[in-house]
Amino acid sequence: MHEPLGASGLILNERLLWEKGRKGRSGFSMPESDVPSSPLPPDLVGDGPDFPDLSEVDVVRHYTRLSTWNFGVDTGLYPLGSCTMKYNPKTNERQAGLSGFSNSHPLLPESLCQGALRLMADLERFLAEITGMDAVSLQPAAGAHGELAGMLVIHAWFKQKGDSRSKIIIPDTAHGTNPASAALCGYSPVPVSSSAEGILSPEAIAAVMDEETAGIMVTNPNTLGLFENHLKAISEIVHAKGGLVYADGANMNAVMGIADMGRIGVDVLHLNLHKTFSTPHGGGGPGAGPVCVKKHLEPFLPVPRIIQKDTGQYALSEDFPESIGKLLTFHGHFGVLVRAYSYILSMGAEGLKKASQLAVLNANYLKEQLKDTFHLAYDRPCMHECVFSDRYQQAYNVTTLDIAKRLMDYGYHPPTIYFPLVVHGALMMEPTETESKEDLDQYIDALKKIAEEAKETPDVLRAAPTRCKVRRLDETAAARKPCLAG
Amino acid sequence: MITMRYLPHTPEQIQQMLTVAGADSLESLFSGIPEECRRLQEMNLPEALSEWALNRHMDALSAGLAVSPEYKIFIGAGRYDHHIPATVSSLKSRSEFLTAYTPYQPEISQGTLQAIYEYQTLAARLMGVDVVTASHYDGATALSESLLMAIRKTRRKRVVLSSLIHPYYRRVAQTYLEPAGFEIIELPFLENGLTDLSLLEGAVDIAAVALQSPNFFGCIEDLKAGGQKAHEIGALFIVGFTEALAYGLLKSPGSQGADIVFGEGQSLGIPIAFGGPGLGMLGCTPEHTRNLPGRLVGKAKDMDGKNGFVLTLATREQHIRREKATSNICSNNSHCALTAAMYMASLGKSGFCDLAILNHDKAAYLCRGLSGAGFKMPFQGTFFNEFVVEFPEELETLYQRLLEKKIVAGLPLSAFYPELSHHYLLCVTETASREDMDALIREVTPCMNP
């Protein structure tokens, strides 16, 4: 028997930055001036921002202490469902930090930035191959931004045909970004429920799809961790009414080398490079949300596009008159693209497929080991994630929130909770392929112990966590009288 | 099979786990996926590379990019080459920050939360506003979101943008606003390189007036006058920047009457990285707080009354409000905000102001030098660290030759403003030495008297 993973160690308190400042200190090596002073007219000059003056040691201790209050993938298992918190390889950081990649200016003449353009052109090709789509833009900055790009492409396609549609079908399992992105294009969502199997039925879509509806936004595999088996038939229904199929590729990690989104009938799809392609989540970004389309939608992709000239040189082209325009100032989150490119080159086709297979194996293993302990919303083979609920624990007045908070004491980041909304009290777990059997077994063991505690000593759960920097925080009071700056 | 070092499963464990999962093989885990949804062929990707082969490949690609100090690059226009302290690079790489996600579970994410709260505070002090969000993607998307804020608040459908807002920012705003039927009106610029505000007189039904200062030509706008004119017509006044360092020297946008302030924070310790990721900064006066898009961190108390931090005012956001949310934004550029906070903390007020002065002094030196060599400075407005020069026609060929000498003599403006042929936008930061600038002046002077 191992000692439990969660343990208490020494961490240090740390004041706010401005409580540590003392005038006369500095943490910056100021370059000598080698030019004469040239003051601005005094009426333009302000007092300067009220930043605290700190020494280099002050700054280093401050952020080192803060970092110890955090939990990352490098700390341990982070089974946040639909977020794909897989290991972020260190070699990718090395590559992104190379001077050419990290210091080059986005407005350089093309002859001076061939390395960056070639990397982007290659990455576009790789992503098209992995998804089964025809063309890719790397410009969107995050998943929701990729969704917006996809919706704008659909909007532009209808506009070019002189067809204005007002609605879009969005299943009840969708992430909240889906309806919010559609709203930016003026589409109002038409909700549809998933069937008893947890997936969409062609009948439900046929009942709502009409010629006022631009199409459907569907996450595949969906947020219940299930493959949308009827998507091909659904695509045909949508296409028959002149609509388009948008797929949210947030869960692509389940099906690399296995499913072909193009063949299924998907017209537009976005990927999250910070999920499937292992770039670090950074405490909430930056990510990258490339948008992939079939041939008929290529003219609408954001500009500039990367093109290859007859000479073999790469160039940036604005010459796409039907394009939706620009979505970001420059060429996307290039630093993130370098990491994803480096990951794909490290894994190869075989490695990526293996990653998907093992991600699905881990999720199914977890599901089978825990389904007697926690209520499993849909008891059928899953993809990369599985969704439990607190139904068995409700008898002891223990909730999903209590279970999640208690997991922290055992040394784990909690899963995604209360999402998808279709499962009451959802606990959505995505272990990813980079967790070993030993680590999963220890996690399963912790969850089983928590379920026993729920029966025997439920107050322990309700008081959790007790081993973190702070105990449970009062979020309601924080929102009532918000204090957003010091 | 070259690299499986991220996949910890042994063949025996795979077998044991398959047995538990009730599957015969890894392939059979996917047997529920219909044939019509499957790939017909294996993925056609390059063979996997070892770490060492990858290093060689990436070194070669990276070498195909021009960077300082080998090249002397006098381009800013939205991305600025500043020194980044080693402390910032080192601290931001701590994997507790880098490999965490959005702090949905505050008890286990207090490091990110306090750091972002501190970022919000320092950024608010820089911009002269009360509230700043946890971050947006970049300056252009922050502008677009501020315009949408104003449209929601005023229930009006038209916005006015200075034509001296970064041309790419205006194009992004167009992408965000046009499909929903909102109209953008542009204000022309005057001979002095400032925005012509006269068109605002008597304008009706305008949700917002937006200016950038320093503007795309580097000139410092009269924000007080812009604010008055905007407020006279009942519009919100939006002010932005591409070079955050300018506010080490200039009066903050908030102090000059801005209701909403947007900007690009790349200058705050974030590598240029071919243009991304950057840092979208967005803040406002208190009456607009609940209309802000994106994440916000606030103070909270725990069960024992201890201080901590949480994500707050989530009822504005897409995961609660869905299609009625203030934005679709979810992941933002949190790690860039963290980096910016580390940078602002490292410089402090004294360092930040001194560095801003140094940037202006350097740019002024180059401007005087070029002017002394006889080149025309078309705009008389005061600038920060960028300015426009009108070179003779001959510079076009010389510009290409200078590239071979590893000098990039500014950004040609004709692609953005067709009427400004032979005009170049030049930028100088603390990274350019007097020698570099003297060399530029020396090299371009011959084209004055060909």
How many CB pairs below 8 A link A and B?
A: 702
Is the CB of residue B428 less than 8 Å away from at least one CB of chain A?
Answer: no
From the CA of A456, how many Å to the nearest CA of chain B?
23
Hey, what are A167's tokens? Answer: 């609605």
Q: Where are the beta strands (DSSP E) in B117-198?
A: 131-132, 158-162, 183-187
Contacts A469 to B, Cβ<8 Å: 107, 110, 308
Whether the bond between B277 and the residue before it is cis, its omega within 30 degrees of 0, is yes
Contacts B385 to A, Cβ<8 Å: none
B154 DSSP 8-state letter: H
Per-residue model confidence (pLDDT) at position B448: 80
Contact state of A328 with B172 under an 8 Å Cβ cutoff: yes
Mind listing the pLDDT tens digit for each residue in A335-345?
Answer: 999 999 999 99
Per-residue model confidence (pLDDT) at position B323: 82
Instruction: For helices A437-456 and B11-21, give the axis angle rounded to 10 degrees.
Output: 40
Optimal mutation site among B15, B274, B322, B346, interface A, most CBs of chain A within 10 A: B274
Per-residue model confidence (pLDDT) at position A321: 97
Residues 360-379 of B with CB under 8 A from A: 360-362, 364-365, 368
Residues 2-31 of A with CB under 8 A from B: 14, 16-18, 21, 23-31
Per-residue model confidence (pLDDT) at position B3: 52
Optimal mutation site among B65, B268, B386, interface A, most CBs of chain A within 10 A: B65
What does pLDDT average to over chain A? 96
Contact state of A25 with B348 under an 8 Å Cβ cutoff: yes
Is the CB of residue A103 less than 8 Å away from at least one CB of chain B?
Answer: yes
Alpha-carbon gap, residue A252 to B47, rounded angstroms: 21
Beta bridge partners of B284: B131, B260
Which CATH code is given to the segment(s) B72-83+348-448? 3.90.1150.10
A51 → closest Cβ in B65, B344, B360: B344
Is the CB of residue B449 less than 8 Å away from at least one CB of chain A?
Answer: no
* Neighbour count for residue A39 (Cβ, 10 Å): 12
Residues 238-297 of B with CB under 8 A from A: 247-252, 255, 264, 271-278, 289, 295-297
Q: Which residue has the higher pLDDT, B174 or A164?
A: B174
Contact state of A69 with B295 under an 8 Å Cβ cutoff: no
User: Which among B308, B356, B321 has a CA at the least distance from the CA of B113?
Assistant: B308
Per-residue model confidence (pLDDT) at position A3: 83
Q: How confident is the model at residue B152 (pLDDT cuts 50, 70, 90)?
A: very high
User: Which among A23, A233, A320, A271 has a CA at the least distance from the CA of A132?
Assistant: A271
Residue of B nearest to A37 (CA): B361
Strand, helix or coil at A244?
strand
Mind listing the pLDDT tens digit for each residue in A202-239?
Answer: 999 999 999 999 999 999 999 999 999 999 999 999 99
Mind listing the pLDDT tens digit for each residue in A421-471?
Answer: 999 999 999 999 999 999 999 999 999 999 999 999 999 999 999 999 999
From the CA of A455, how many Å to the nearest CA of chain B?
23
Q: Work out the percent of chain A whose per-residue pLDDT is above 90.
A: 96
Alpha-carbon gap, residue A257 to B327, rounded angstroms: 34
Residues 151-210 of A with CB under 8 A from B: 152, 155-156, 175-177, 179-186, 188-189
Average pLDDT value for residue range B217-225: 98
Beta bridge partners of B16: none
What does pLDDT average to over chain B? 96
| Ordered domains of chain A (ranges, CATH) | 92-345 (3.40.640.10), 348-467 (3.90.1150.10)
Is the CB of residue A125 less than 8 Å away from at least one CB of chain B?
Answer: no
Considering the entire predicted model, what is its pTM?
Answer: 0.98
- Domains B72-83+348-448 and B86-343 are alike in CATH topology: no
Optimal mutation site among B6, B302, B303, interface A, most CBs of chain A within 10 A: B6
Contacts B63 to A, Cβ<8 Å: 100, 115
Per-residue model confidence (pLDDT) at position A1: 53
From the CA of B449, how many Å to the nearest CA of chain A?
26
* Helices within A220-332 (DSSP H only): 231-240, 261-264, 273-276
Average pLDDT value for residue range A107-117: 97
A434 → closest Cβ in B6, B325, B382: B6
Beta carbons within 8 Å of B320's beta carbon, 6+ residues apart: A176, B314
Is the CB of residue A291 less than 8 Å away from at least one CB of chain B?
Answer: no
Per-residue model confidence (pLDDT) at position B322: 82
Residue of A nearest to B311 (CA): A475
Strands A291-293 and A268-270: antiparallel
Contacts B249 to A, Cβ<8 Å: 40, 44-46, 48
Mind listing the pLDDT tens digit for each residue in B80-91?
Answer: 999 999 999 999
Q: Work out the percent of chain A whose per-residue pLDDT is above 70.
A: 100
Please state which of the four CATH numbers 3.40.640.10, 1.10.40.50, 3.40.720.10, 3.40.630.40 is assigned to the domain occupying B86-343: 3.40.640.10
Rg of chain B over Cα atoms, rounded to whole angstroms, equals: 25
A44 pLDDT higher than 80: yes
Per-residue model confidence (pLDDT) at position A255: 98
A74 CB burial (10 A radius; 0-12, 13-18, 19+)? middle
B1 pLDDT higher than 70: no
Per-residue model confidence (pLDDT) at position B325: 83
Is the CB of residue A467 less than 8 Å away from at least one CB of chain B?
Answer: no
Q: The complex's ipTM?
A: 0.97
B2 pLDDT higher than 80: no
Q: Tokens 């510009």 — which residue? A: B399
Residue of B nearest to A415 (CA): B105
Is the CB of residue B138 less than 8 Å away from at least one CB of chain A?
Answer: yes
Is the CB of residue B154 less than 8 Å away from at least one CB of chain A?
Answer: no
Domain range summary for chain B, segments of one domain joined by +:
72-83+348-448, 86-343
Contacts B275 to A, Cβ<8 Å: 105-106, 329-331, 334
Q: Where are the beta strands (DSSP E) in B84-195?
A: 131-132, 158-162, 183-187
Mind listing the pLDDT tens digit for each residue in B304-343?
Answer: 999 999 999 988 888 888 888 888 888 899 999 999 999 9
Residues, chain B: 450
Strand, helix or coil at B310?
strand
Is the CB of residue B25 less than 8 Å away from at least one CB of chain A?
Answer: no
Is the CB of residue A405 less than 8 Å away from at least one CB of chain B?
Answer: yes
Mind listing the pLDDT tens digit for each residue in B230-243?
Answer: 999 999 999 999 99
Q: How confident is the model at residue B350 (pLDDT cuts 50, 70, 90)?
A: very high
Is the CB of residue B436 less than 8 Å away from at least one CB of chain A?
Answer: no
Contact state of A49 with B350 under an 8 Å Cβ cutoff: no
- Output the CA angle A280-A282-A285, nearest 5 degrees: 100
Contact state of A63 with B42 under an 8 Å Cβ cutoff: no
